[in-house]
Amino acid sequence: DADVTQTPRNRITKTGKRIMLECSQTKGHDRMYWYRQDPGLGLRLIYYSFDVKDINKGEISDGYSVSRQAQAKFSLSLESAIPNQTALYFCATSDRQGGQPQHFGDGTRLSIL
Amino acid sequence: DAKTTQPNSMESNEEEPVHLPCNHSTISGTDYIHWYRQLPSQGPEYVIHGLTSNVNNRMASLAIAEDRKSSTLILHRATLRDAAVYYCIRSNNAGNMLTFGGGTRLMVKP
């Protein structure tokens, strides 16, 4: 079983719909992250959370919101989806110690028509 | 601002060593250097990281310049499965933040 699980793996939806992407982890890590990746580019940070009560905006948080329901769960929501949010979305986790590597899920491919 | 500079692409022959360079001339004293790779249709995969000393693990070696302004990821014997995009990233010691640049696309020829 994967340590970092993202659901759904693929989603096609329409402009204006509310969408939730979910991430769960079994690594016991405190820190969780959401990134998006556009074709041919590197990942960009949307939101991150250092523990259940700590949520922080990343580089491109506009149009997104998150919820840290538990240490193991971190959800990303698009309140009103728009076509330029079509992208590949990745969740990641890391240990609380500084400099530790991040562990990524397999991604959610989201298409907004 | 990715804060690291890598070549867009490199080629290697199978079973030969590969040296992937990275420049990070503005690195601070507490930033770690991380390397990740991404295969098609997969999430980034951690390869190796270091602070000052050279590092080795089962996947690769990381050679860090004495002034820490550059580093090199070394794959000792490239295989076809090593074909991927390799990202060199500075990670803040306090926040574990990763800022991805464009990476180097490594192509491995049989």
Tens of pLDDT, residue by residue over A2-47, are 699 999 999 999 999 999 999 999 999 999 999 999 988 888 999 9
pLDDT at B47 over 60: yes
Q: How do residues A48-75 score in pLDDT, each as one tens digit?
A: 999 999 999 998 999 999 999 999 999 9
Please report, rounded to a whole number, the percentage of residues in chain B having pLDDT higher than 70.
Answer: 94
Phi/psi class of residue B38: alpha, beta or left (left: φ > 0; alpha: ψ in -120 to 50)? beta
Contact A94 B96 (CB under 8 A): yes
Q: Say if residues B92 and B33 touch (Cβ distance below 8 Å).
A: no
When CB atoms are compared, the residue of A41, A90, A98 closest to B96 is A98
- Based on DSSP, count helices (H) and strands (E) in chain A, helices before strands: 0, 11
Residues of A in contact with B34 (CB under 8 A): 101
Question: Average pLDDT of B32-55?
Answer: 92
Reading across the β-sheet that carries B55-56, which strands appear in turn? Answer: B18-23, B70-75, B61-64, B55-56
Indicate the residue type of A7: T
Residue B62 has pLDDT above 90, yes or no: yes
Q: What is the mean pLDDT of the segment spanning A81-109?
A: 91
Q: Say if the Cβ atoms of B43 and A92 lie within 8 Å.
A: yes
Query: Is B43's CB within 8 Å of A48's CB?
Result: no
Q: How far apart are CA A33 and CA A83, in angstroms?
A: 23
CB–CB of B45/B38 below 8 Å?
Answer: yes
Which tops the pLDDT comparison, B76 or A100? B76
Q: What is the mean pLDDT of chain A?
A: 93
* 3-class state of residue B80 by DSSP: helix
Is 90 exceeded by the pLDDT of residue A76?
yes
